[in-house]
Amino acid sequence: MSVLGIDVGGSGSRVALRRDDDGTRDELAGPGAQVGARGSSVAEVVRALLRDAAARWPGETATLTGVGIGATGLTSLVEDPGSLAGAVTQEVSAPVAVAADAVTAHLGALGGAGGAVVALGTGAIAVGHGGPGTGGWRRVDGWGHLLGDRGSGAWIGRQGLEAALRTADGVDTDGAALLAAGRRRFGEPATWPGQLYTRPDRAGVLAAFAADVARLSAAGDPASLALLATAGDEAAVSVLAALGDDLPPRVALTGGMAQAGGALTAAFADGVAARRPDVEVRQAQGDPLDGALHLARLAAEGTVVAQEDFVWT
């Protein structure tokens, strides 16, 4: 028997099959969810990943014991996340749990233990939970790249381009390296609004520029270093707000931007220590796809507790 985990983000998606008999695991990649006038394409991405999984692993997907899905934008951009769980259940004939991507990030990073996690990917969201047998989930941020997602890839990319344009405007010279990187990626600044404002995958495009910011930071560019440090501190503020005073005092940073390391992760650890020296900063045990597989196992066991805005079964 096997379980299936699906992780859908703004820049890409993945599906993993884990076999219970020998613990082996296989993965496939897919596109990210796009946001347009009709909301998010999460459901379409999930259906495509299920088709790909069935084609690649026909025997195992026919006898699944559970499916766990973590996806971005479920609470704000998908009209009825519960219907997605029902639709997938009909396709796979197995118990299904669908969760906000922050929930699967938490499950992956802390292995199901209590505490708080901030996930910095294309977007950013922090969640806290007391662990098995305790109360519900709580959320901080996750408002999307236009209103929040502080410290995320899209946030870093946008801030980096803003700094570049200040230099292009002659306001200051701090963003010179960022301006050069922006020109390499997007061309002349006058074309940037037209390239960004009209795109349904704008958040992912902004997050792609965050990789340029991270490279400049690693090379010692002061503006990029400061930007990543600010992102890490924003993540610390969010994760502590999600932790509150009543959850086990442990936190973790996860998501694609956590891989930037350096100034961002150092600022995160320093920001937590400065505000809550009693809180342990843990290295993430796994990523959101690991969390989706953990959720799939809980679904197979029948121990998933549904909670509006966080988990649907």
Bigger pLDDT: 90 or 295? 295
The model's pLDDT over 103-158, given as tens digits with 9 standing for 90+, comes to 999 999 999 999 999 999 888 999 999 987 676 899 999 888 889 999 999 999 99
Residue 285: pLDDT over 90: yes
2-110+287-312 and 112-284 have identical folds: yes
User: Is the CATH code 3.40.50.12160 the one for domain 2-110+287-312?
Assistant: no
Q: What pLDDT, on the 0 to 100 scale, is given for residue 284?
A: 93
* Boundaries of every domain in the chain: 2-110+287-312, 112-284
| CA distance readout (Å), 211 to 86, 175, 178, 224, 260 | 37, 16, 11, 11, 8
Bigger pLDDT: 2 or 11? 2
- The letter for the amino acid at 90 is Q
The model's pLDDT over 19-77, given as tens digits with 9 standing for 90+, comes to 877 778 998 888 876 666 666 777 888 888 999 999 999 988 888 999 999 987 776 66
Architecture of domain 112-284: 2-Layer Sandwich (3.30)
Q: Are 99 and 312 in contact (CB under 8 A)?
A: yes
* Sign of CA pseudo-dihedral 281, 286, 289, 291: negative
